[in-house]
Amino acid sequence: MLLPPLADPSITVGIVTCNSAADVLSCLCSIPPALGGRTANVIVVDNASSDGTLSQVRQASLSCVLVENTRNAGYAAALNQVVARSTSPFLILCNADVVFRPGSIDRLVSCLEKDRAVAWAGPLFVTPDGQPRSSARSFPTLLLELCELFLLHRLWPTNPVHSRFFRSDLGPGHPGQTDYVVGAALGLRRTAILEAGGFDEGYFLYFEETDFAWRLARAGRTVFFCPEAVVEHREGGSSKGDPLGLERAMWTSQYRFFRQTSGRTALAVLWLIQLAGCLFRSLWWGSRRLLHDSVDTGVDVGLARSLRHLRWLVTPWRR
């Protein structure tokens, strides 16, 4: 049974759910030991789940507010709902497919308390089997997109373009300032969120944290990667149900980000890069498919995705 919210907690943990019944209880149960003795309210914003997520949330014995949306308004809109319902100076915003390791929330908040210029602190992610995954990223560029689509990362895994984007210099034991951190779990200062105007609800899913970090940077705020805070991320747990719809959401959000931050000329260059890249990838996967006598699932998936992306690019109303 949910407990009444605390009167004036210093921390609010906001969790966005959408058909997250398999994950949300583990996420909720991980919060108390992650606080390190601090107090917090929890706000769960559910985007029209139909799989029993709400009943799972109601089982948790936490000081919690449950917001039930009748439609899926997107991740950014749900995060703004958390901010609007909280008065806490510090917010931890996350997907339901994360499990906070003991002390992790305390360490994220401590990072924000140490330096008022830091608006956002991100944790070190680990996979369920304990493999570390740094959340630190640099802002995406047209050069990165060119290298990705033409498979440079396969031919040259340690190339400087990818190393810079994935911040290979940051990781376990190596904290530091970065452009942004992956949005599966975020430690944020509430005043900075309000100064930046909240999250752009034009992003249904993906790139909302990248856009937000861009606006924070323009306001002189910094983002810090804090590997002492460890969060388990069950990747894909918050993106189930409609893989084709998620692909379109990714492409649409990417276009919105480049249009918002770099203008229409950059957007036209992005379209040309993606058109050429999708043609290249279709030929790459198609030739490999012809050379294989047996069915290769990876090749078939790569070819199908390239063709879908190509179709999306040449259908203007989709963008």
Residue from 48, 39, 44 nearest 2 by CA = 44
Q: Give the pLDDT band of residue 306 (cuts 50, 70, 90).
A: very high
Cite the beta strand spans of the chain per DSSP E: 11-17, 40-47, 64-69, 90-95, 98-100, 118-126, 132-134, 136-137, 176-178, 180-181, 185-189, 222-233
Q: Give the pLDDT band of residue 7 (cuts 50, 70, 90).
A: low
CB 161 within 8 A of CB 144: yes
- Compute the average pLDDT of residues 211-235: 95
CATH at residue 26: 3.90.550.10
Same domain? For 228 and 273 the reply is: no
Q: Whole-model pTM?
A: 0.93
pLDDT of residue 153: 86
Give CA–CA dist 224/245, Å, rounded: 32
Q: How many domains does the chain have?
A: 2
Residues of the domain holding 24? 11-144+158-233
Q: In a 3-state reduction of DSSP, which class is residue 66?
A: strand
Same domain? For 133 and 86 the reply is: yes
Q: Is a pLDDT exceeding 60 seen at residue 69?
A: yes
Q: Is a pLDDT exceeding 90 seen at residue 4?
A: no
Same domain? For 187 and 259 the reply is: no
pLDDT of residue 51: 92
| Assigned domain for 2 exists | no
**Domain boundary, last residue among 233, 265, 282:** 233
- The amino acid that residue 230 corresponds to is V
- Compute the average pLDDT of residues 246-269: 95
Same domain? For 254 and 295 the reply is: yes
Same domain? For 75 and 133 the reply is: yes
**Domain boundary, last residue among 183, 212, 233:** 233
The rounded percent of the chain whose pLDDT value lies above 70 is 94
pLDDT tens for residues 170-204? Answer: 999 999 999 999 999 999 999 999 999 999 999 99
Lowest mean pLDDT among 88-92, 123-127, 155-159, 252-256: 155-159
Give CA–CA dist 299/291, Å, rounded: 11
Same domain? For 199 and 248 the reply is: no
| Assigned domain for 4 exists | no
pLDDT of residue 236: 63
Q: Give the pLDDT band of residue 300 (cuts 50, 70, 90).
A: confident
| Assigned domain for 5 exists | no
pLDDT of residue 155: 87
pLDDT tens for residues 9-60? Answer: 899 999 999 999 999 999 999 999 999 999 999 999 999 999 999 999 998 8
Same domain? For 182 and 253 the reply is: no
Residue, of 135 and 240, whose pLDDT is higher? 135
- Compute the average pLDDT of residues 159-177: 96
Lowest mean pLDDT among 80-84, 230-234, 237-241: 237-241
| Assigned domain for 283 exists | yes
Q: Is a pLDDT exceeding 90 seen at residue 242?
A: no
Same domain? For 285 and 205 the reply is: no
- Cα angle for residues 14, 67, 203 (degrees, 5° grid): 65
